[in-house]
Chain A
Amino acid sequence: MKSMEKRVAYLRERAKELRKSALTMIYEAQSGHPGGAFSIADIVAALYFDEMNIRPEDPQWADRDRFVLSKGHVCPIVYAALGHKGYFGQEHLHTLRQEGAILQGHPCMKKCPGIDISTGSLGQGLSCAVGMAIAGKRDKKDYRVFAVVGDGECNEGQIWEAIMSAYTYKLDNLVLVIDNNRLQIDGTCDEIMPNIDLTRKLEAFGFETFDIDGHDMEEILATLAKCKASKNGRPKCINAHTIKGKGVSFMEDELAWHGIAPNQEQYEQGMKELREAWCSEENEEEDPTTVEEYLEGMKELEGGAK
């Protein structure tokens, strides 16, 4: 068992590398959604590199934990996680949104290994997650289902239909993560369609709720552990307070960075900031620049942290 300190350090590194990969993908494609990808980067790192029971070499393994990206437009961060985990070759990480690519503009389960359900039209993924979780219960399997939903996405009525059915079917194997970055496309959530208090709402809908800082890796891990331990018949909701664009100063909390790609100057500045962020002194000199170099370095770090 890794110590909490080492796990946190390792996962922060992972999250940083996911952000770098995602930014590179969006820059190379000159298209994509960096803001919301960065707000969930830490949670995605924790799920894929610590929490979820998955087998990259067997993406269809029947007993795997499922991941549903209901806010499908931020898929580059998940593609980065799948690529770094080895679900597909690293070369694919340079093909986002290209003709014939497995990395479609929004996730396609038929093209990309590791995608458990196609998403892209907001409000629908959580219902699919509920279906997967019901199947798990009926088949007496231990797998769990993690669904990431945006706070803006909670405008969609279907989200609340899905929430009601999760309670009805006592899906304590379902973890709903709300990426509460307080921004949607045309303005702040408060301006467009206020969510008021999602934790209280979910509590009222029968969920067991957790209010956390979605960028505090230690808190993320502790909360995921609580979700796993709690087998009380209540579905879980992690209301993750996040910052859209987290990790690149000029993107943080900026509405404009919802769905645009950086130019070369912005890309280089962003990568520089990401490289420097959370970099412990001992790692600073050997900061890798490519995914391949990074993965080599990670193998050593992973070995040391176990």
Chain B
Amino acid sequence: MMAGKLIATREGFGEEIVTMGKQNKDVYVVDIDIGKSCKTVKFRCELPEQYINVGIAEQNGAGVAAGLATTGKIPFVVTYAVFGSLRMVEQIRQEICYPNLNVKIACSHGGLTPANDGASHQAIEDMGVLRTIPNMTVIMPADYVATKKLVKAAAETYGPMFLRFTRDAVPVIYDEDQEFEIGKAVKISEGKDIAIIANGDTVRLGLEAKNLLEAEGVGVTLLDMHTIKPLDVDAVLEAAAKTGRIITVEDHNIINGLGSAVCEVVSEEANAKVKRIGVQDQFGMSAPYERLLAMNGITVENIVATAKEMLGR
């Protein structure tokens, strides 16, 4: 059992990509000179024939990956989330998504997790920007187990994808036998009073909030929405119908991320109230990660308080 063990999702990526590369010689890594930090060193050492490093040149990296994909390769472009999205967004649009090529953008340091680095390195817009591009799939796993399973699924599923991992060690939530499907939420708990929909590192916050609320007799549906595009619309609608109250939690700007995606569905097809917890449309700064989360209300306490407010308790 790994549950409870602390390990960063980027470590899960670093391990699984080697397994994938050994299974399929077409799986490539295109590094952009931050391989050490993004955990591709093992891949580089063990699978040099499937490894490319383009240096500090994100735009070229995206294009090289597109070219590789036209020949049947499955390149994973690896960098930090802020660069793997915004620094090469037009290349992703023109040369990867428009031709619908089988390129994966696999990024560490998602959200506010590069905390000490400051706002320049914190990725708060990445998932939102990329989910607006046709053909793109956008994924953020919650823990080490989810990361390994979703990296495997990404390598085995055709199409452009953005996978967002994070820097810090987070608790392992899932058992090894938990199944993951791209585009299908994981229902961690089911309750009738309120739904919490989270992704990535914030699933652990949702889990703690759920436990606190349940201890007070509140029934909580907790969904790990690891894929924000395509969104699991059925899971959102089911949660909305069951509870009528949804709280979304994400380490991303509240504009255009998970919360927005949920609101889009609920406003059109359900009768439920949605409260979004996430980065308050403001840049971060150099500070401890937990402090940055607190500055934006991304805390267990705020989830619980928001739930009580919605429940009128």
Bound-state CA distance A164–B94 (Å) is 21
Point out residues on A near B: beta carbons under 8 Å: 62, 66, 108-110, 116-121, 123-136, 138-139, 157-158, 161-162, 164-165, 168-169
Report B10 CB to chain A, min CB distance, Å. 25
A126 cross-chain contacts in B, Cβ below 8 A:
63
Q: Give B49's nearest chain A residue, CB to CB.
A: A138
B60 touches which one: A62, A139, A165 (CB < 8 A)?
A165
Let me know if A134 and B52 touch, CB within 8 A.
yes
Bound-state CA distance A123–B62 (Å) is 12
Q: Give B75's nearest chain A residue, CB to CB.
A: A131
Bound-state CA distance A132–B64 (Å) is 8
Flag whether B158 is at the interface (Cβ < 8 A): no
Bound-state CA distance A62–B91 (Å) is 24
Given contacts A119-B95, A139-B71, 6 further A-B contacts (CB under 8 A): A118-B95, A127-B63, A132-B67, A133-B67, A161-B55, A165-B60
Report A174 CB to chain B, min CB distance, Å. 10
A136 cross-chain contacts in B, Cβ below 8 A:
71
Let me know if B70 and A169 touch, CB within 8 A.
no
B68 touches which one: A110, A134, A164, A168 (CB < 8 A)?
A134
Let me know if A161 and B60 touch, CB within 8 A.
yes
Report A108 CB to chain B, min CB distance, Å. 8
Let me know if B94 and A130 touch, CB within 8 A.
no
Bound-state CA distance A119–B95 (Å) is 7
Flag whether B90 is at the interface (Cβ < 8 A): yes
Query: What secondary structure prevails in chain B residues at the interface with A?
Result: helix
Let me know if A110 and B100 touch, CB within 8 A.
yes
Chain B residues bordering chain A, tally (CB within 8 A): 29
Mark interface residues in B83-123 (1 if CB within 8 Å of A CB, else 0). Answer: 00000001100110011100000000000000000000000
B50 cross-chain contacts in A, Cβ below 8 A:
138
Task: Given A117-B70, A169-B52, answer yes or no on A127-B60 (Cβ-Cβ < 8 Å).
Answer: yes
Point out residues on B near A: beta carbons under 8 Å: 49-50, 52, 54-55, 57, 59-73, 75, 90-91, 94-95, 98-100
Let me know if A158 and B71 touch, CB within 8 A.
no
Query: What secondary structure prevails in chain A residues at the interface with B?
Result: helix
Task: Given A124-B95, A161-B54, A165-B55, answer yes or no on A117-B60 (Cβ-Cβ < 8 Å).
Answer: no
4 closest A-B pairs by CB: A131-B67, A127-B63, A161-B60, A128-B67
Let me know if B94 and A121 touch, CB within 8 A.
yes
A169 cross-chain contacts in B, Cβ below 8 A:
52
- The contact sample of 28 A-B pairs, CB cut-off 8 A, is A118-B95, A118-B99, A119-B94, A119-B95, A120-B94, A123-B59, A124-B63, A124-B91, A124-B94, A127-B60, A129-B67, A130-B63, A131-B64, A131-B65, A131-B68, A132-B67, A132-B70, A133-B67, A134-B52, A134-B64, A135-B71, A139-B71, A162-B64, A164-B55, A165-B54, A165-B57, A165-B64, A168-B55
Bound-state CA distance A110–B98 (Å) is 9
Q: Give B71's nearest chain A residue, CB to CB.
A: A135
Bound-state CA distance A128–B70 (Å) is 9
Bound-state CA distance A208–B268 (Å) is 60
Bound-state CA distance A136–B71 (Å) is 8
Report A241 CB to chain B, min CB distance, Å. 27
Report A188 CB to chain B, min CB distance, Å. 26
Bound-state CA distance A132–B72 (Å) is 10
Bound-state CA distance A116–B59 (Å) is 19
Q: Give B94's nearest chain A residue, CB to CB.
A: A121
Bound-state CA distance A133–B60 (Å) is 14
Bound-state CA distance A134–B71 (Å) is 10
B62 cross-chain contacts in A, Cβ below 8 A:
127
B65 cross-chain contacts in A, Cβ below 8 A:
131
Task: Given A127-B64, A128-B95, answer yes or no on A158-B59 (Cβ-Cβ < 8 Å).
Answer: yes
Report B200 CB to chain A, min CB distance, Å. 30
Let me know if B71 and A128 touch, CB within 8 A.
no
Q: Give B98's nearest chain A residue, CB to CB.
A: A118
A120 cross-chain contacts in B, Cβ below 8 A:
94
A129 cross-chain contacts in B, Cβ below 8 A:
67
Q: Give A117's nearest chain B residue, CB to CB.
A: B70
Bound-state CA distance A276–B215 (Å) is 90
Task: Given A109-B99, A117-B95, A124-B94, answer yes or no on A135-B57 (Cβ-Cβ < 8 Å).
Answer: no
B70 cross-chain contacts in A, Cβ below 8 A:
66, 109, 116-117, 128, 131-132
Bound-state CA distance A109–B96 (Å) is 11
Q: Which of B61, B64, B66 has the most CB of A within 10 A?
A: B64
B98 cross-chain contacts in A, Cβ below 8 A:
108, 118
Bound-state CA distance A240–B197 (Å) is 58
Let me know if B90 and A127 touch, CB within 8 A.
no
B52 cross-chain contacts in A, Cβ below 8 A:
134, 169
Q: Which of A116, A124, A127, A130 has the most CB of B within 10 A?
A: A127
Report A252 CB to chain B, min CB distance, Å. 31
Q: Give A66's nearest chain B residue, CB to CB.
A: B70
B54 cross-chain contacts in A, Cβ below 8 A:
161, 165, 168
Bound-state CA distance A108–B69 (Å) is 15
Q: Give A115's nearest chain B residue, CB to CB.
A: B99
Report A166 CB to chain B, min CB distance, Å. 10
